[in-house]
Amino acid sequence: MSALEKSMHLGRLPSRPPLPGSGGSQSGAKMRMGPGRKRDFSPVPWSQYFESMEDVEVENETGKDISFAKCGSEGPVLLLLHGGGHSALSWAVFTAAIISRVQCRIVALDLRSHGEDVGNVVEAMYGDLPPPIMLIGHSMGGAIAVHTASSNLVPSLLGLCMIDVVEGTAMDALNSMQNFLRGRPKTFKSLENAIEWSVKSGQIRNLESARVSMVGQVKQCEGITSPEGSKSIVEGIIEEEEEDEEGSESISKRKKEDDMETKKDHPYTWRIELAKTEKYWDGWFRGLSNLFLSCPIPKLLLLAGVDRLDKDLTIGQMQGKFQMQVLPQCGHAVHEDAPDKVAEAVATFLIRHRFAEPIGGFQCPFPGS
């Protein structure tokens, strides 16, 4: 757990998303297009999906608050942990879907020191008597959920759900991760441009989810203020430098000016530099399958493809140690690509184990065991 406890912050919500426009209603955000109609890539505010966004003060090495988004007032708490580089906003559309199916409360965290913080947040929010909690994590967040569960950091833990994270596949993918990150655009002209790229590249296959979650993945470049601001360059960014002996401009100064021009044309960049977290990758995923199998609570594994199963999980699944569901035609961000299907799977899991009550006429699609 040492790598998890010391790892850097991988996604923090802005206190108020920098939205140039509200983007219309929730239903209007879906990808419905008639002939000749353009898709709407404008950002959508978090407030259409969550009731509040708050901070909780916890003791950790950063010495700062942890942000989280909330929804619901009754039932078990679904504590949602996002993947690397994402934020709590990646759970927005899923939140709307699950709240309409079962009676539950949503707490979507912005992760910092990861495993240790999850336990600290639960203690800070609920004290010595936390409500029943189910941990649900995607990718890196799934690994953190498993480490949290196996370390008994959440005393009222009901269940555990991992979304599209398997030790074998993850370890194999680490070798090519840096090439993948280098292949992404480094900057974007606007939030709309970032949202459009995420959909057209397949990073998020659901337009509605992309319009709310990409706001948490990108930020304005340092030294650039909002379009409404009177200054586009922070004072002192481009420093005056002495000319060299030949009287030509300093190379360093020209580079700074070129960089600033690029920022003015492409003022948004990634909020988190994932490439710099490479030293933690092995610690997140090595030994994850056996750790998952050893957690003595009901477990659910949701995958984009059955090919992602490694040997240990294949054996465990055959032995009935966890429930598994494959959601085809999804990318890695399963809960964003198919939020309704993920909500249906999680709701069915909760009802089968009598952890939550159905609402809105929701019925399990399969017979309960």
Query: Which positions are catalytic?
Result: 139, 164, 332
DSSP secondary structure string for all residues of 10-52: -----SS---SS--S-TGGGS----TTPPP------GGGT-SE
Q: What's the burial of 46, exposed, middle or buried (CB within 10 Å: 0-12/13-18/19+)? A: buried
Work out whether the CA dihedral 348, 290, 150, 339 comes out positive or negative.
negative
User: Which tokens hold the place of 144?
Assistant: 């953190």
Whose structure tokens read 């020209």?
A: 254
User: Which tokens hold the place of 74?
Assistant: 């009754």
Long-range contacts of 252-261 (CB under 8 A, 24+ apart): 260/223, 260/233
3-state secondary structure of 143: helix
Query: Alpha-carbon distance 119 to 273, whole Å?
Result: 25
Helices and strands, counts by H and E, the chain: 13, 11
